[in-house]
Structures are given as C-alpha cells and as structure tokens.
C-alpha cells in the first residue's frame, strides 16, 4: 500500500504540452490520447488537465493494489472535481469522505448481499418480461432505450419499494432527470449554475423538487408500515438503519442516497447490457452456447460473458482519486493534491493482464473469477461501487431471460463505436438487434434459425 513520505517528488513520465491542449485532447479523444501515451511509456504517466491539474494515469495491477489499499488519511475520492455529489445532494455517498463515508457504506451493505440480493431477482425478471412483451420480430431496433427502461423499473422496485402512483411518477420523472444530470456533471462549474427555470440547472432543480416530494411520501409511508421489518427494499433498510451511536440516517440523506442509487445504477447497468448484446450479435457460436446453457439451467458461461463485456467494453472507463499528503506508490512519489486516474481501458486491454486482450472471449473467465486489480469495472478499495453485486445480478437475470425468450440474429456489421452520454459510454447506434421469439417464431421463420445452424463465423472484435 501507499505510504506517507518526505522523499523528493518523483513523478512518472510527463506529457509536455500546454494544459489547454491536453484538456482539449482529454475531452475530445481521451481513449486515443491515453492509448498513445501508454504505447509510448507504458503506465503510469503524468498529464496536466483543466480542473484536475497535475494527474497521474495508472493501470498497472501492482500500483492499483497499492492505491486501493492506501489509507483514507492519505488518498481519497475527490468530491469537488466533478459534480456527482452536487447533483445527488450532500447526503449521498458521492458527497461523503473519510470516516463518514465508511460509516455510511457499512449501513448500505446489507441490502446488496445474500438473501436480500436473491429476493430481487423476480422483480428484475418481471421488468424484463414487461419490457420485451412488444419487441418487434425480424426488424432491427435499438436496445439501449429498452435496457434503460427495464433497469430503471428493476431498481425502482428493489430500491424504492415503489408501487402504484409513486412508481408511475418515478418511471416518467427519472429518465429525463438522470439524462440531464449526467450531462451537467461534465460541464464547467460556471455552466452548472442555476440561471433560472429554463437553464439546465434550473430544470434539474425542478426535477429534484418533484423527486423529493415522491420520496418524502414513500419514507412517510414506510415509517407507518406495520410490515416494515419484513421488507427487503433499500428504502426500508435505510429508514431502519442506525449508526453505531444509535443515530438514524436523516430523511434528506435517504433521499440523496436513493437518487444516487438510481442515477448511478440504472444508466450504467443498462449501458453495460446494451454493450453485451452488441458484442454477442457478432459472435453467433457464443449466442448458441448461451441458449443451450439457459435451456439446461446453467449459468457459468453467462456470468463469464457479462464479465468479459465489462472488460472489453466498460461503460465507465475510469475513476479518480486525489492525494491528501505526499505519498510513495511503488517507485513513484506523488505530491499532495495530485489527481490519480485509474483508467479501466488500459488495464482491461493490456496484454500482460489479458492475453489476446482485443478479442471478445468469455471463455477466459469460465472456471475462473476475474483477477483483482486487473479487472476493475466497479473501481476498487473503499470507494468500490456499493451496488456492484446488484448490477451483476441484474445483468445476469436480464441476459438469462433474453436468451430464454429470444433468438438474436447474428450480424457481420462492424462493431458500434463508443458514444459518451455524460457518465456512461454507450454503443453509437444504440446497440441494434434483430430478434425472434423462440417459442412462437423460431421454427417457422427461416430468418430465425438457430445461430448454431447458421454456422456463421464470428465477426472480429
């Protein structure tokens, strides 16, 4: 792990271009910029960026292990660089640091593990079945919006315990609110200011007031629910949660956390599911194997497929930390207030970490869990995404249901490019798919024959 030091500063190789030039390259072509620097120096390397300042970019597993195990007294996730905490509110996990952050994470852990997590599976399957009821057969369509709807419905029911009018209101409100918020967080502070109801921040404030009204009603209903102790939804857990000193989580903080869950959870999970389908359509033999596996009641290949999609097409490409003191990480000495970008893209495409890394090959994870500090789609350390287990469960149930209900027509079209929605990276053409219902159409429509019967050669990754 990293340690405080008084040694002279020793930074990794540095890009010597004006900060503005580096900032423009970072904003417009981050993948290409970091890829070029990685090919030149390996990792880590140093850049100088607007907002972040002097920044060390790293992906080496040994250094990442040191970084993620370093004390929170020495390094932490900054809450002032980007405005996620500003969007979610002062009571969300994204706004908390230090011991306050650790205490909150301890309260958030129970609903995302064990029996609680298992109890959400039927909700996810119901939402998938609801969404796919009217999917067109034999006609290409975008899967991104359907994935957003089904992950939103799943998280609303599992996290909020919402039903009836409250659920209907949140289904309408949150997509627009989350989309606007994810774009706002990437804008400079001046642009994020509230200039009235027609400005982006002003519109977000209106959404937030509507959201708080619904959540306040759900919290009030939960407090008077005689069956509260038997409920497994996250809202019920947070209402009952107590810190070690016996204090409850304040209601405004509960609202902030719930917004954090849905905003940070449903869009990223939907994007990752969309990427998974986009990759699968270019690998027909894998589609066939997944269909056979779901028919047999298995899951190992499906889990490996989800992990591999997260590796080769992570919807979030990195995370940021900042040093609080001068620290030594490996052979490097970073001064106080240095930003550190943990860049998934480089870690996941490194030949040292993953042989034949450019290939989409779920078999690399069959019989083996993803290696720590090399596979990092959820970050790491005390700031690792608290909803990671929920997201993986949600993707597993969704993919299982889709493989059971449909045959996905393979394609030899080039892979879709990456498009940035603000926080998440998504397929540029919406993750297009062509499907046929297995029970009704597969045997009669010549276009829906099994991908195994087609014998199509997988398209390049």
Instruction: Please check the confidence at residue 401 and state whether its pLDDT lies above 80.
Output: yes
Q: What is the pTM of this model?
A: 0.86
> What is the rounded CA–CA span in Å between residue 286 and residue 399?
13
Q: What is the pLDDT of residue 236?
A: 87
Instruction: Please check the confidence at residue 458 and state whether its pLDDT lies above 60.
Output: no
Q: What is the pLDDT of residue 116?
A: 74
> What is the rounded CA–CA span in Å between residue 236 and residue 160?
8
Instruction: Please check the confidence at residue 22 and state whether its pLDDT lies above 50.
Output: yes
Instruction: Please check the confidence at residue 384 and state whether its pLDDT lies above 80.
Output: yes
pLDDT grade for 460, boundaries at 50, 70 and 90: very low
Q: What is the pLDDT of residue 453?
A: 33
> What is the rounded CA–CA span in Å between residue 430 and residue 122?
27
> What is the rounded CA–CA span in Å between residue 248 and residue 103?
12
pLDDT grade for 189, boundaries at 50, 70 and 90: low
Q: What is the pLDDT of residue 162?
A: 63
Q: What is the pLDDT of residue 185?
A: 67
Helices (H) and strands (E) in the chain, counts: 16, 14
Q: What is the pLDDT of residue 188?
A: 63
Instruction: Please check the confidence at residue 321 and state whether its pLDDT lies above 80.
Output: yes
Dihedral angle computed from the Cα positions of residues 95, 93, 345 and 426, in that order, rounded to the nearest 10 degrees: -100
pLDDT grade for 84, boundaries at 50, 70 and 90: low
Task: Determine the average pLDDT of the residues in 390-402.
Answer: 95
Name the residue ranges covered by the structural domains of the chain. Answer: 3-454
Class of the CATH-defined domain 3-454: mainly alpha
7 versus 259: the higher-pLDDT residue is 7
Q: Which of 265, 293, 213 is nearest to 395 (CA)?
A: 265
Proportion of the chain above pLDDT 70, given as a percent: 91
> What is the rounded CA–CA span in Å between residue 442 and residue 197?
51
**CB–CB of 423/185 below 8 Å?**
yes
94 versus 389: the higher-pLDDT residue is 389
- Lowest mean per-residue pLDDT among 8-22, 39-53, 393-407, 417-431: 417-431
pLDDT grade for 457, boundaries at 50, 70 and 90: very low
Residue matched to tokens 């981050």:
30
Tokens encoding 172 = 């309408």
Instruction: Please check the confidence at residue 25 and state whether its pLDDT lies above 60.
Output: yes
Instruction: Please check the confidence at residue 16 and state whether its pLDDT lies above 60.
Output: yes
- Lowest mean per-residue pLDDT among 42-46, 367-371, 423-427: 423-427
Alpha helices in 109-199 (DSSP H): 114-119, 121-132, 144-155, 164-184
Q: What is the pLDDT of residue 59?
A: 92
- Lowest mean per-residue pLDDT among 14-28, 61-75, 222-236, 299-313: 222-236
Q: How many CB atoms lie within 10 A of CB 232?
A: 16
> What is the rounded CA–CA span in Å between residue 279 and residue 286?
10
Query: Apex CA 374: angle with CA 370 and CA 124, to 5°?
Result: 45
Instruction: Please check the confidence at residue 256 and state whether its pLDDT lies above 80.
Output: yes
Instruction: Please check the confidence at residue 451 and state whether its pLDDT lies above 80.
Output: no
Handedness of CA 92, 94, 97, 101 (dihedral sign): positive
136 versus 179: the higher-pLDDT residue is 136
Mean pLDDT taken over the chain: 86
């Amino acid at each position: 792990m990293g340690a405080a030091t008084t040694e002279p500063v020793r930074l990794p190789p540095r890009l010597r271009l004006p900060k503005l030039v580096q900032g423009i390259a970072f904003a417009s072509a981050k993948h290409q910029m970091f890829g070029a620097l990685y090919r030149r120096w390996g990792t880590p390397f140093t850049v100088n960026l607007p907002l972040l300042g002097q920044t060390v970019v790293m992906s080496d597993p040994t250094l990442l292990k040191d970084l993620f195990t370093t004390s929170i007294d020495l390094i932490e996730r900054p809450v002032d660089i980007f405005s996620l905490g500003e969007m979610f509110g002062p009571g969300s996990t994204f706004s908390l640091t230090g011991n306050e952050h650790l205490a909150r994470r301890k309260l958030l852990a129970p609903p995302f593990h064990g029996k609680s997590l298992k109890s959400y599976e039927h909700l996810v399957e119901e939402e998938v079945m609801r969404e796919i009821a009217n999917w067109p057969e034999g006609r290409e369509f975008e899967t991104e919006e359907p994935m957003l709807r089904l992950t939103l419905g799943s998280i609303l029911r599992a996290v909020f315990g919402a039903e009836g009018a409250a659920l209907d209101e949140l289904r309408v409100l949150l997509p627009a609110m989350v989309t606007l918020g994810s774009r706002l967080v990437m804008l400079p502070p001046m642009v994020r200011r509230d200039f009235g109801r027609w400005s982006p921040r002003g519109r977000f404030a209106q959404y937030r007031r509507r959201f708080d009204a619904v959540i306040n009603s759900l919290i009030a209903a939960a407090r008077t629910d005689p069956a509260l102790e038997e409920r497994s939804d996250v809202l019920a857990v947070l209402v009952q949660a107590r810190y070690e000193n016996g204090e409850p989580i304040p209601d405004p903080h509960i609202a902030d956390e719930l917004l954090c869950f849905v905003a940070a959870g449903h869009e990223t999970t939907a994007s990752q599911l969309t990427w998974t389908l986009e990759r699968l359509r270019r690998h027909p033999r894998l589609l066939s194997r997944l269909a056979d596996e779901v028919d047999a009641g298995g899951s190992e290949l499906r889990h490996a497929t989800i992990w591999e999609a997260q590796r080769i097409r992570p919807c979030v490409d990195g995370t940021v930390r900042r040093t609080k003191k001068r620290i030594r990480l490996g052979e490097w000495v970073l001064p106080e207030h240095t930003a550190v970008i943990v860049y998934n893209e480089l870690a996941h495409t490194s030949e040292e970490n993953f042989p034949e890394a450019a290939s989409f090959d779920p078999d690399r994870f069959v019989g083996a869990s993803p290696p720590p500090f090399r596979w990092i789609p959820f970050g790491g350390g005390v700031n690792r995404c608290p909803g990671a287990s929920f997201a993986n469960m949600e993707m597993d149930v969704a993919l299982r249901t889709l493989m059971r209900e449909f045959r996905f027509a393979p394609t030899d079209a080039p892979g879709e490019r990456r498009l940035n929605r603000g926080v998440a990276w998504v397929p540029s053409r919406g993750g297009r798919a062509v499907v046929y219902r297995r029970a009704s159409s597969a045997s009669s429509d010549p276009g829906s024959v099994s991908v195994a019967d087609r014998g199509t050669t997988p398209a390049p990754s």
